[in-house]
Chains A and B, each alone.
Chain A
């Protein structure tokens, strides 16, 4: 039993890191643009497909990761310019509705482009090590480390990079940032592209662990939403903690019930959070929302 719990802890941490990568893109987009991106999971899915195609062509996983991130980043930028830029200044509810439409289109596009059969990416790191009674693949740990590295790079970029400072300035005060000469609309586009690239990267990292299908996006969207709300909307650190927290809980729950039912555990966490800490579990002091 003790061994099972330890194995599930490792599983939870690995899944949590990949989920954290998805959620940090989502929370970044929300924090800066007030856009609740319903299509985020579908960007994960498109990234996974792009990665799968590239890996199948070239045989190089890391090239697949890079190409998928770049292609989806460019696609995300285009998407933002065409559909979300006209909605700036409208209710953030409008963006949920619009991105829901985008999600529908992307899902069916993937079905049309890549077909209904599930695709696979072989694990790039072949070895396994012994974890109690299991032969645990090294790749799972590798994926977690990669996800952590990408999130770390994002943090450093936001903290020290010139454009990172632009992004943070836009988050704090959109109008003032504009007055200081920061091209706010392009910051929005850039942030959406970064968020899309992170979604794509997590899709490629996740692909060797499970099959790539055109319906995988919805589950990611739902899980990322839960994480982002539990962690506090727009709060990067909170999202990462929440992703680990929720994934660990789900991993432990799947010891008792089937994995598809273990999802309910994360829903319960979400409901409790909404009830008692609607600003997020990991926010030090709840900020009183200001009237618009």
Chain B
């Protein structure tokens, strides 16, 4: 048993390090556009991964992840606009704090509800924040959004300089990879096991003596924090915040990433995000904004015929 365990353990690290190394090296050989595109996939992948804690592990479908993402984005934007000399880490911290604040709010109210009621309430919460951001023009810039400058890439005592597309990619990759390890650790911990048991059978989990609501609140908080983190990364890459990112279509896309890639696998949603964004990139060249018609149809077909997502589908094919 122990040898088996350490073997899969070693295999995981080998695969993980290979993939991360590949992701770190690939952009060196890519043109500028695709380099940025890869960074963006990682950022959306982190957002998708964060929602997987709720959708895949706890069985709570969140239709409001745009709120966490958006507040991370606007929080970082605020920090970068207010500070005289923009600092990367303070921007990250402020973005995370903003997302955490929203997450506390949503977690407190929404976790009292289950299933579709949870989904609807998260949806409504994200719309509340959308309306506030959209109409509070003095602070948020309203429809026009906010533009700000990119902070310099500083690691205190080691390195200081401007972001290039490659160093930005490495920075995002490092954050996403560490987040993945943290999330993986969380989902495999006793805490994560309780979340999965809530997904499988909530009344029984309660009967065993777990305080289900408390676990759900922490799950939403964690999910919101990581979603906020992806929002701050987006702010740093694009130097731009707009209310569109708080609109529920973003939340919907996050659910699509999860369904396409495979819920409850952490890696699946990242694969889903990559698949979706690549398809969008490819299709929108021919169909402009109508790309959502074929993409949406593909999505519906996957919901019906491939509910385990791409990753689950591959796994099943490999096992045959």
Binding site for B on A (CB under 8 A): 36, 83, 86-87, 90-94, 96-98, 100-102, 104-105, 107-109, 111-112, 218, 222, 225-226, 229, 233, 258, 260-261, 263-264, 267, 270-271, 274-275, 278, 291
Within the complex, what minimum Cβ distance (angstroms) separates A103 from chain B?
Answer: 8
Interface size for chain B: under 10, 10 to 19, 20 to 34, or 35 or more residues? Answer: 35 or more
**B208-253 interface (Cβ within 8 A of A):** 248, 252
Given contact pairs A263-B131, A267-B128, A278-B117, a sample of 5 additional A-B residue pairs in the complex whose CB atoms are under 8 Å apart: A36-B120, A100-B252, A229-B117, A260-B135, A271-B109
Among B79-87, B148-156, B298-306, the stretch in contact with A: B298-306
Q: Are A104 and B252 in contact (CB under 8 A)?
A: yes
Q: Determine if B124 and A278 form an interchain contact, defined as CB atoms under 8 angstroms apart.
A: no
Query: Knowing A109-B293, A218-B248 touch, does A264 contact B303 (C-beta < 8 A)?
Result: no
**Could you say which residues of chain B place their CB within 8 Å of the CB of A111?**
289-290
Q: List 15 A-B contacts (CB under 8 A).
A: A36-B120, A83-B300, A83-B304, A91-B115, A92-B115, A96-B63, A96-B116, A100-B63, A104-B252, A105-B297, A108-B292, A229-B121, A260-B131, A263-B127, A270-B124
Assuming A109-B293, A264-B131, is B115 touching A98 (CB within 8 A)? no
Chain B residues whose CB sits within 8 angstroms of the CB of A218 once the complex forms: 248
Give chain A residues whose Cβ lies under 8 Å from the Cβ of B127: 222, 263, 267
Q: Which residues from B are CB-within-8-Å of A109?
A: 293
- Contacting A at CB under 8 A, from B280-300, are 289-290, 292-293, 295-297, 299-300
A264 shortest CB reach to chain B, Å: 6
- Distance (Å) between the CB of B312 and the closest chain A CB? 15
Please give me the residue from chain A that is nearest to B121 by CB atom: A274
In the complex, the answer to whether B290 meets A112 with C-beta atoms within 8 Å is yes
- Please tell me if B203 contacts chain A, counting CB pairs below 8 Å: yes
Check: B255 CB closer than 8 A to any chain A CB: yes
Query: Are B292 and A100 touching (Cβ within 8 A)?
Result: no
Given contacts A94-B307, A101-B300, contact A291 B109 (CB under 8 A): no
8 Å CB contacts to A: which residues of B91-141?
109, 112-113, 115-117, 119-121, 123-125, 127-128, 131-132, 134-135
| Chain B contacts for A97, CB-based, 8 A | 61, 255, 259, 303
- Residue in B closest to A99 when the chains form the complex, CB atoms: B300
Contact B121 A86 (CB under 8 A): no
List chain A residues, Cβ under 8 A from B123. Answer: 222, 225
Q: A222-B127, A226-B124 are in contact. Are A105 and B259 (CB under 8 A)?
A: no
Listed residue (A229, A233, A264, A274) with the most chain B CB atoms within 10 angstroms of its CB: A274
Query: Once bound together, how far apart are the Cα atoms of A225 and B109, in whole Å?
Result: 17
Q: CB within 8 A of B290: which of A108, A260, A291?
A: A108
B124 x A267 contact (CB < 8 A): yes
Chain B residues with CB under 8 Å of A278's CB are: 112-113, 117
Which 5 A-B pairs rank lowest in CB-CB distance, beginning with the nearest? A105-B296, A104-B296, A101-B300, A101-B299, A108-B292
**B307's closest neighbor in chain A, by CB?**
A94
A225 to chain B, nearest CB (A): 5
Which of these, B61, B125, B134, B296, contacts A101 with CB under 8 Å?
Answer: B296
Q: Which residue of A94, A222, A274 contacts B117 across the interface (Cβ within 8 Å)?
A: A274
**Whole-angstrom CA separation of A100 from B260 in the bound complex:** 14
Shortest Cβ distance from residue B228 to the other chain A in the assembled complex, whole angstroms: 21
CB pair B292–A104 under 8 Å, yes or no, is yes
Contact yes or no, A101 B109, CB < 8 A: no
User: What residues on B are CB-neighbors of A270 within 8 Å?
Assistant: 121, 124
Q: Are A105 and B300 in contact (CB under 8 A)?
A: yes
Once the chains bind, are B300 and A102 in contact (CB under 8 Å)?
yes
Query: A270 to nearest B CB, angstroms?
Result: 6
Q: Which chain A positions have C-beta within 8 A of B304?
A: 83, 86-87, 98
User: Which residue of A has the minimal Cβ distance to B61?
Assistant: A93
Q: Which of chain B's residues has its CB closest to A96's CB?
A: B119
CB atoms of B117 and A108 under 8 A apart: no
Chain B 256-288 near chain A by CB (<8 Å), digits 1 or 0: 100100000000000000000000000000000
Q: Chain A nearest CB: distance from B247 CB in Å?
A: 9
Most buried by B among A108, A226, A258: A108
CB-defined interface of B52-93 with A at 8 Å, one 1/0 digit per residue?
000000000101000000000000000000000000000000
